[in-house]
Chain A
Amino acid sequence: MERIVEVVPEAGLHARPASKFVQTANRFDSEITVGRADGDDTVSASSMLAVTGLNIEHGERVRITAEGDDAEAALDELEALLTTPVEEDDESEAGDDA
């Protein structure tokens, strides 16, 4: 099961959004990967090191895959996370995390 999603948060897949992405992915039992939609740089979504290492910027499209019983739910949550612009309160927090 997979989904192609555009990364909306200004910070891209860095800092706070990356941190939340990894945290969320780790809550599910499914095997989850992430990488550029048109690339072959797929990595495990459970690794902060790997996810930040992708250096994905705001506006890029990523492919998220999930295999397991809760794959659907995992993809729903991760998609929501990447397509929600960081809210105002959160923005200042993410902001200084550069």
Chain B
Amino acid sequence: MKLSGIGSTPLSGVGTARWYRPESDLTLPEKPDPSEVDSDAEQERFETAQTTAREQIEQARQQAAERVGEDEAAVFEAHLQFLDDPQLVGDIESAMSEGTPAEHAVSDRFEEAIAQFEGMDGRMAERADDLRDIRDRLLRVLLDVETVDLSALPAGTVLLAERLTPSDTAGLDPDSVAGIATVTGGRTSHAAIIARSLAIPAVVGVGEVLNEIEEGADVLVNGDAGTVVVDPDEGERAAAGGVDAPVVEERVATADGKRIEVAANVGGEAELEPAAARGADGIGLFRTEFLFLDREAPPDESEQYEAITAALAAFPDDRVVVRTLDIGGDKAVPYLDLPDETNPFLGQRGIRLSLGTHSDLFETHLRALLRVAASEHGDELAVMFPMVTQIEEVESAIERVESVADDLESEGIDYAVPELGVMIETPAASYLADALAERLDFLSIGTNDLTQYVMAVDRENDAVADYHDPLHPAVLRAVDRTVSAAEGRDAWVGMCGEMAGDPDLTELLVGLGLDELSMSAVTVPAVKQQVQQTATDTARELAAEVLACETRAEVQTVLDGEEK
């Protein structure tokens, strides 16, 4: 069984399913007749519950500050304010004085507030999670329910839940939790943010179908692909890093000596060190979105400068390819006031926003990048633009780079112009690969989006999931067309995307002529090992055979025939 949701921490983990259903313990007793209720006693019970909850939140605040950081600890300050909110408390007290028991008063009033926030959109809806968190704390004290100790889960737990509250998540021990999957939630919920900060693989918003996973099942959480797999097979485990290949520190070449760079995709500072530890030859895709998501205002130039410098410092001798801001599509950034679009994946995304309505953001971004290029390891910096479909866009982007360079020059600030490239993720870019290679230093094929656009398939739509497969002949031919177009021109071609990290496909990709493969760090060792075992000429023959296939099934037959 393979379920899909929203990958929220782009890491993978395999473990044993354990359900966390705290809400099931919080069933309220029957409401007694108001005349039987001692209002004063209820008032006292409520105050005790409030005091206990306050202590717990203080403790959670401290724990979050130590484990996650002051930023995330701040949410618990808001919790304290909600806990003492005069409106909430006032209504609860008046309900109790009219003969409602404390637990019912709390439950009713919070339900009302939760409903109010749930009706709103985006970050307002996430306040509902905060209120649930506080309500459950109060109810646990009032109903005398033991708090499930999430900080003491057995090692290798994949935690499954309807939803996790910020307190639940902050208390998790990253060493024992192999992954998290939840029925509801978005990638900007506090719980998702905390899971990311703790580097716990997480997939959220899987839907009701998650409930079909049985306690104790063997589960793989792939936060990069946004999937949850029950009883994963060897291939799926390997792709997710469940089977560890030995780390190869040095750069690798095929058996006959062709160098292939095996780099990592990195989506945040926490992933830098693990990527280096797994022997990645630099970063083939540095997603800058993390700098912009989960916050309320864009990062300024110096914050961007620091973050990108940190990436270069983690790989002092290797190239770091930074993708400029790729928002739009499914990535919501509340403060950017992006318009609601019927078809966001075909709307204002990536370079379209950077050259259009958000050119000021792009300018700050470029200033930071050009300054980094002049810093200590800056000569290893490369910058690529996402979602390109026209040569004019590349020309405008290059003009913007030049004008930012002029500005820095006249301000007397050190800068350098890094290697420039584009993502090949649309059919248009693949068709124009020759003209792009002519103007740029490199092309990087983003197979996830390329597959989506070549196959005209919504990545998020389960009903057409079979279409979203890079091994369809049309996608493979778009990859081949791109690589061939760059041949003889002075541009290297890489691939970043799920496909690059599948060790079963390494031989094919080498045969297709890619110079660089970039993937989730977990698969770097396995792919490096595969590269070393590949002979270029047999790989080329395999690629030629695969490219001759007309159907997905034929591709599979050829690939299966190759398996040793």
Beta-carbon contact of A47 and B297 below 8 Å:
no
| Cα separation A67 to B489 with both chains bound (whole Å) | 74
Interface string of B167-207 (1 = CB under 8 A from A): 00000000000000000000010000100000000000000
Across the interface, B81 reaches (CB within 8 A) one of A48, A53, A93, namely A48
Residues of A within 8 A of B335 (CB): 10-11, 58
Across the interface, A95 reaches (CB within 8 A) one of B71, B88, B124, namely B71
Interface string of A63-98 (1 = CB under 8 A from B): 000000000000000000000001010011111111
Chain A interface, >50% SS class = helix
Q: A19-B77, A47-B87 are in contact. Are A96 and B72 (CB under 8 A)?
A: yes
| Cα separation A29 to B334 with both chains bound (whole Å) | 35
| Cα separation A47 to B188 with both chains bound (whole Å) | 25
Q: Does B468 contact A (CB under 8 A)?
A: no
Beta-carbon contact of A91 and B297 below 8 Å:
yes
Q: Which of B70, B75, B295 has the most CB of A within 10 A?
A: B295
Chain B interface, >50% SS class = helix
Beta-carbon contact of B87 and A96 below 8 Å:
no
Beta-carbon contact of A48 and B303 below 8 Å:
no
Beta-carbon contact of A47 and B86 below 8 Å:
yes
Q: Which residues 1-49 of A sit at the B interface, judged by CB distance below 8 A?
A: 10-12, 14-16, 18-19, 22-23, 44, 46-49
Interface string of B71-102 (1 = CB under 8 A from A): 11011011001100111100000000000000
Beta-carbon contact of A11 and B82 below 8 Å:
no
Considering only CB atoms and an 8 Å cut-off, how many residues of chain A contact the other chain?
30
Beta-carbon contact of A10 and B86 below 8 Å:
no
Q: Which residues 284-304 of B sit at the A interface, judged by CB distance below 8 A?
A: 294-297, 299-300, 303
Residues of B within 8 A of A49 (CB): 82, 85, 87-88, 113
Beta-carbon contact of B117 and A53 below 8 Å:
yes
Beta-carbon contact of B116 and A97 below 8 Å:
no
Closest A residue to B109 using CB positions: A49
Considering only CB atoms and an 8 Å cut-off, how many residues of chain B contact the other chain?
32
Residues of B within 8 A of A12 (CB): 296
Our count of residue pairs bridging A and B at CB distance below 8 angstroms stands at 87
Q: In the complex, how many angstroms separate the beta carbon of B284 from the nearest chain A beta carbon?
A: 27
| Cα separation A55 to B126 with both chains bound (whole Å) | 13
| Cα separation A14 to B130 with both chains bound (whole Å) | 13
Beta-carbon contact of A93 and B124 below 8 Å:
no
Q: Does B127 contact A (CB under 8 A)?
A: yes
Q: A91-B297, A95-B296, A98-B296 are in contact. Are A52 and B70 (CB under 8 A)?
A: no
Q: Which of B82, B296, B334 has the most CB of A within 10 A?
A: B296
Residues of A within 8 A of B123 (CB): 14-15, 98
Q: In the complex, how many angstroms separate the beta carbon of B70 from the nearest chain A beta carbon?
A: 6
Closest A residue to B121 using CB positions: A55
Residues of A within 8 A of B71 (CB): 92-93, 95-97
Beta-carbon contact of B295 and A95 below 8 Å:
yes
Q: Does B270 contact A (CB under 8 A)?
A: no
| Cα separation A23 to B80 with both chains bound (whole Å) | 11
Beta-carbon contact of A94 and B297 below 8 Å:
yes
| Cα separation A97 to B72 with both chains bound (whole Å) | 7
Residues of A within 8 A of B297 (CB): 10-11, 86, 91, 94-95
Q: Does B120 contact A (CB under 8 A)?
A: yes
Query: 18 pairs across A/B with beta carbons < 8 Å?
Result: A14-B123, A14-B296, A15-B123, A15-B296, A47-B87, A48-B81, A49-B87, A50-B85, A52-B124, A52-B127, A55-B124, A86-B297, A93-B70, A96-B294, A97-B78, A98-B126, A98-B295, A98-B334
Question: Can you list the 4 inter-chain pairs with the closest CB atoms, starting with the nearest?
Answer: A95-B295, A10-B297, A11-B296, A96-B71
Which A positions have Cβ atoms within 8 angstroms of B? 10-12, 14-16, 18-19, 22-23, 44, 46-50, 52-53, 55, 58, 86, 88, 91-98
